[in-house]
Amino acid sequence: MAEGFGIQPRVWAVGALCRAAADALDARFNPVAVQGEVSGFSRATSGHCYFSLKDGQGQMRCAMFRRAASLVDFDVRNGDLVELRGRLTVYEARGDLQLVVESLRRAGQGTLFEQFVQRKAKLEAEGLFDPSRKRPLPMFPARIGLVTSLGAAALHDVVTALRRRAPHVEVVVAPASVQGGQAPGELVAALSALQEIEPRPDAILLVRGGGSLEDLWAFNDEQLARAIVASQVPVVVGVGHETDFTIADFCADLRAPTPTAAAELVAPSRDGWLQGLDALEDDLRDALQGRLDRLSQRLDQAASRLGRPSGLAARQQAVLAQWDQRLHRATTAWLHQAQRRLDAAEGRWPAAGRTSLRNRSDRLERAALRLQMLDPAVVLQRGYAWLADAKGRTVTRVAQLRPGESVNATLADGTANLQVITLQQGTSSDAGSGNPS
């Protein structure tokens, strides 16, 4: 034994001493719960997080591995007051005391979160969150109510978004505290006040910026939840960040992830609607022009088939002339056949019968002569003309005509288009004499 040392202590290897210390800490303290302020927070590319937990008397290195970090439901920032659970150990590579974090939450969240869960379950059981009772937002709001603090950044964000997207919409602000013990009552009063003004807003925005559970606690108030449900106009709630949820969010007719998003949801962009109207106008104009083009084409086709009215009348007159010729030929042929039958029968009849037959034959010849004299073609050959107006109607009187009017004249050998220059009304004596006027 060396002089001056007394009883020799056990000689440890460094690594063994670190492991022994870690075992002692584990047996004496673990698992451990600690509260403190986050400092020097960093997240490695592996997903592991490293920081220090400190208070006024000391600090401790902490390591939170990727699995535990993935379970944290908020963004950890330097200065956050947190509660964590984990195991004390010794980091052998440096011999440092280290707390390996297994779970982490905001300080005080335990009690508040339990209240939140219980209140949410109660109101949900009463049907306050039922989607079937929630109302749709107006498509074109003219007036929007806004409930928030006059000193909140959310007020500026919402007003800026509304001016940009829908400058024609009127905004009515009902100020209220958004944090603290007095906030729930002021928020309820502001909602009520907006529903009493005339004209009533088409929708109400209830907004504030992000914060801790304690900061947002006013929006978990039961009376505020019931006021939102009882509102006579749709309520849009935009509280905190996208990951923040409050009971007001569940009661609202629509939940927005941020105050700016709430403004965008309640007031669709005017420019977007105007562009849509321009597109509809173009479609309507194209459809109308296409229909006009098709109708114009049909009109052109009909006009080409119809032609000039005088031409149609001429074609009808030509058809009538053909029927007149056919009637004349048929009548003449019938008379000839009848004459031949009479001649044949005359030789077989007695003299008296022949005399009677001859008399009848004479009458038949005279009738045939009169019939031929009534033939329009024979009349036309005597220098007369058959007149018809532009619509094909027969003209028999001067009163049917007007100066400058076109008429169609059918002569013995064809037709001619004429124009009336002057008119002279015939006298009764003229009409009696048979002279044309």
Task: For 146-164, write each residue's pLDDT tens digit.
Answer: 999 998 888 999 999 888 8
pLDDT of 383 reads 79
Residue 262, in any domain of the structure: yes
Q: What tokens were used for 29? A: 């303290």
| 349-380 pLDDT per residue, tens | 555 556 766 777 778 778 777 777 667 777 77
Could you tell me the strand order of the sheet in which 386-388 lies? 386-388, 406-411, 414-419
More confident residue, 182 or 318: 182
Q: Is the pLDDT of residue 132 over 70?
A: yes
Residue 136, in any domain of the structure: no
Per the prediction, the chain carries an average pLDDT of 81
Whether residues 429 and 327 fall in one domain: yes
Angle, helices 222-230 vs 109-125, to 10°: value is 30
Angle, helices 183-196 vs 222-230, to 10°: value is 10
50 pLDDT tier (thresholds 50, 70, 90): very high
Residue 367, in any domain of the structure: yes
| Distance between CA atoms of residues 345 and 343, nearest Å | 5
Whether residues 322 and 397 fall in one domain: yes
Burial of 397 from C-beta contacts in 10 A (0-12 / 13-18 / 19+): exposed
Q: What is the mean pLDDT of residues 66-93?
A: 83
Q: How many domains does the chain have?
A: 3
| 174-196 pLDDT per residue, tens | 999 998 889 999 999 999 999 99
Among residues 82, 107, 132, which one ends one of the domains? 107
Whether residues 167 and 93 fall in one domain: no
Buried b (16+ CB within 10 A) or exposed e, 324-340: eeeebeeeeeebeeeee
**Domain range for residue 21?**
14-107
Among residues 268, 291, 324, which one ends one of the domains? 268
Closest to 203 measured CA to CA, from 142, 271, 284, 122:
142
Residue 131, in any domain of the structure: no
Whether residues 337 and 427 fall in one domain: yes
Whether residues 426 and 320 fall in one domain: yes
pLDDT of 232 reads 93
Whether residues 328 and 386 fall in one domain: yes
Whether residues 317 and 404 fall in one domain: yes
| 92-122 pLDDT per residue, tens | 777 778 888 988 888 765 567 778 888 999 9
Q: Is the pLDDT of residue 432 over 50?
A: no
More confident residue, 330 or 134: 134
212 pLDDT tier (thresholds 50, 70, 90): confident
Closest to 237 measured CA to CA, from 265, 200, 213:
265
| Distance between CA atoms of residues 27 and 16, nearest Å | 16
pLDDT of 434 reads 39
Whether residues 54 and 164 fall in one domain: no
Residue 245, in any domain of the structure: yes
38, containing H or E segment: strand 32-43
Residue 339, in any domain of the structure: yes
Among residues 215, 237, 268, which one ends one of the domains? 268
Residue 168, in any domain of the structure: yes
Residue 132, in any domain of the structure: no
Whether residues 101 and 147 fall in one domain: no
Whether residues 327 and 425 fall in one domain: yes
Give the rounded percent of residues in the chain with a pLDDT score beyond 70.
Answer: 84
Q: What is the CATH number of the domain that holds 88?
A: 2.40.50.140
Give the rounded percent of residues in the chain with a pLDDT score beyond 90.
Answer: 24
pLDDT of 430 reads 41
Neighbours of 83 (CB within 10 A): 17
| 320-359 pLDDT per residue, tens | 778 778 877 887 788 778 777 766 765 665 555 567 667 7
Whether residues 351 and 254 fall in one domain: no
163, containing H or E segment: helix 153-165
Q: Is the dihedral of CA 134, 135, 137, 142 positive or negative?
A: negative
pLDDT of 240 reads 80
433 pLDDT tier (thresholds 50, 70, 90): very low
Whether residues 101 and 185 fall in one domain: no
130 pLDDT tier (thresholds 50, 70, 90): very high
Q: Is the pLDDT of residue 126 over 90?
A: yes
Q: What is the mean pLDDT of residues 34-60?
A: 87
Least confident of 146-155, 265-274, 404-413, 415-424: 265-274
Q: What is the mean pLDDT of residues 398-417?
A: 85
Q: What is the CATH number of the domain that holds 247?
A: 3.40.50.261
Most confident of 266-270, 290-294, 414-418: 414-418
Closest to 263 measured CA to CA, from 359, 386, 175, 148:
148
| 274-313 pLDDT per residue, tens | 666 777 877 888 888 888 878 878 887 777 766 555 566 6
